[in-house]
A and B are shown apart, each in its own frame.
Chain A
Amino acid sequence: MSVDYVLQTTDLVKEFKGFTAVDNVNLNVERGTIHALIGPNGAGKTTVFNLLTKFLIPTTGQILFNGDDITQMRSAEIARKGVIRSFQISAVFPHLTVLENVRIALQRKEGNSFHFWKSDKILNKLDARALELLESVGLQDHANSITVDQPYGRKRALEIATTLALDPELMLLDEPTQGMGHEDVEVVADLIKRVAQDRTILMVEHNLHVVSKLADKITVLQRGAILTEGDYATVSADPRVREAYLGVAEDENDDAGDASEAVEAKETV
C-alpha cells in the first residue's frame, strides 16, 4: 500500500446485548484529509466514534493508529498519543474562564499536573500560547469571560481551540455544527477547514452542506455497516445512499427511521 493511513479499523464489531450496532466496519483514514462519517439516525456513527475514542470497547476487531494497535488502550492514553476527540454537546469546562479552558489542555505537557504544593501562578507562562490559540478561532476578546455565559457558537470555537492546544495528529469531531444557527455553521466550517491544513480530521456530521464543503472522503454508514465510500460527488450520486440517507431524512415518520432513532437514543445514554 502506498497510501499513508493514520487510522484504520479492521472488522470492527460492537454488540449491545445481542443487537449489533456496528457491523464489520473497515475504515481507512488517509493522512492530511478530512474524512466524514455520515448516515441516517441510528446508523451507528456515534458508536463507531466512541469505539475509536475508547469510550466503548469493541466486541471484536482491531483499531490501528499509525500502524500501532490501540484497540485495548484507554481514552486518556490515546489522547496522549495524539488522538483528540470533541463531543456532540459542547465539551468545555463551564465555570472556568475561556483562557483557563485552553490552559488546561496546554498544562498537560508541562508535567506539573500533580504539583499540589506549587502556586497556579506558574501556569501564567502558558497564557501567551493560550491567547494565540484563542486568536486563531477569534475568541481573543473573550479570554477572561466565564465560559458558561458564552453563546453556543463561541463554546464550539473554544472547544476547537482547546483541542488544537494539544496539537493533535488526528482530530475526531462529533457533529461539530450540531445545534448551531446558520451563521455559526459557516464560521465553524471555515474554522475546521483552516485547522485541517496540517492535520487529519475524522468527523461525524449531519449537515450535508458542511460535508460537501469540507470532506475529501465520505463513508456512509447504514445499520452499523458501511454502505459506500468516496468523495461527495460519488457518494451523492449513489442511488442506495439517496434511498437510505435522503429517503429517511425526507420522511421522518418512516418505520425504519423510528426504529433506528430509538436505537440511537439508547446508544447515547
Chain B
Amino acid sequence: MKINKLAIFLIGLGLVAPFALYPVFLMKVMCFALFACAFNLLLGYVGLLSFGHAAFLGTGGYVTGYLMMNTGITPELGILCGTIAAGLLGAVYGKLAVKREGIYFAMVTLALAQLAFFVYLQAPFTGGEDGMQGVPRGMLFGLIDLNDNMNMYYFVFAIFLFGFWLVNRTVHSPFGQILKAIRENEPRAVSLGYNVNDYKWAVFIISAALAGMAGATKTLVFELASLTDAHWHMSGEVVLMTLLGGMGTILGPIVGAASVVGIQNYMSGGELGNYVHIIMGLIFVVCVLAFRNGIVGEIQKVIKRNFN
C-alpha cells in the first residue's frame, strides 16, 4: 500500500516536472536513471558487477541512430531495434561472462566492452570521434511530432516508466526469487537443482537490453550518438550512480542518476567545470566511506529504525 502511494506521487511528479524544470535535463536524468536501474538489477539483486555496461548503452544509441537516419522508421520502432540489438550483444557477452565470478566477471565484461568501443571508434557508420550527428527524432507512430520537447518528454517518461516497471517486476517475480537465492547462497541454489549460470545469463540479457533502451532513448533526446556512451568512463559512472543512490534499492539508481547528472550539469556551466571529475571522485570516496548503503539505503535505515 505504501509503495503504491509513493508510486502515484512519483508519477504525478514526473507529469508536472517539465513545467518547472528544463525538459531536456529531465529527459537526460531519466535516460541515466533507466541505465542505472538496469545496472542495479545485476549488481543489487544478483551481486554481479558488470564493468562493461557502456557497451550496451552505446549499442542501443548507435543502432537506433543509424536506423533513424538511414531507414526513416518511426522512433518507437527505432528504440525497439536499439533495445533488441543491445539485448543480443548482451546475450553474447553474458554467455561468456557468467562463466566467471567476482573480479573476473568484472574484467571479462570490461574487456568485451572495450572490443565494442574499438569497433564503434573504427566503423565508418558511427562517425568515429565526431559521433553520429543530426539523428532525427521523427514522428511517434507517424503522428506525434517529437521535435516538440514536451511531446518528447512524455514519450521518454513513458519509456522510463516501462523500464522501471520491468525492473521492478523482474525483482518481484518467481525469477527474481531465484536471483535472490543465487545472491544469498549460490552453492545451495545449485544443490536445489538450479543451473545458476542460466539464471545469471537471463538477467544479464534483460539488463543489457534495458541499458540499450536507455541509450536509444538518449540518442533521440540529444539527436546524437557519441563515443562517450560506449566509453568505459560511462561504465564507471553507472557504478557511481548506483552506489551513491543505494545499491539493491528500487529508487536508489534514480536518486543516484539524478544527483550525478544534476551535479555535472550544474558545474559544467560555472567556474568549477574543470574540477568536475575531482568532485565526483570525492563524492564517490565519501559515499563508500561514510554511507555505504547510498542515499536511499541510509534513508530506509533511518525509517526502519524510527518507525518500525
Contacts and interface: CB of A to CB of B under 8 A. Distances in A.
Interface of A: 53, 55, 74-76, 79-80, 84-87, 91-96, 100, 103-105, 107-108, 110, 112-120, 122-123, 162, 166
Given A87-B191, A115-B174, 16 more contacts: A76-B196, A84-B192, A87-B187, A91-B187, A91-B191, A93-B180, A93-B181, A93-B188, A108-B192, A108-B194, A113-B175, A114-B202, A116-B175, A116-B203, A118-B173, A120-B174
A266 to B, nearest CB: 18
A110 B194 contact: no
A93 B189 CA distance: 9
Nearest to A118: B173
B245 to A, nearest CB: 20
B188 A79 contact: no
A119 B172 contact: yes
| Max chain A C-beta neighbours (<10 A), residue from B170, B173, B174, B196 | B174
Nearest to B206: A116
Contact of A116 (B169, B180, B181): B169
Contacts of B192: 79, 84, 104-105, 108, 162, 166
Nearest to A148: B184
Nearest to A111: B174
Interface in B153-181: 166, 169-170, 172-178, 180-181
B193 interface: yes
Contacts, number: 100
A76 B175 contact: no
Nearest to A75: B190
A159 to B, nearest CB: 8
B308 interface: no
Contacts of A74: 195
A42 to B, nearest CB: 22
Contact of B184 (A80, A84, A93): A93
6 contacts: A75-B190, A79-B192, A93-B188, A108-B194, A116-B173, A116-B202
A188 B100 CA distance: 37
Nearest to A103: B177
Nearest to B172: A120
Interface string B132-157: 00000000000000000000000000
B274 interface: no
Contacts of B4: none
Contact of A104 (B181, B187, B202): B181
A15 B59 CA distance: 47
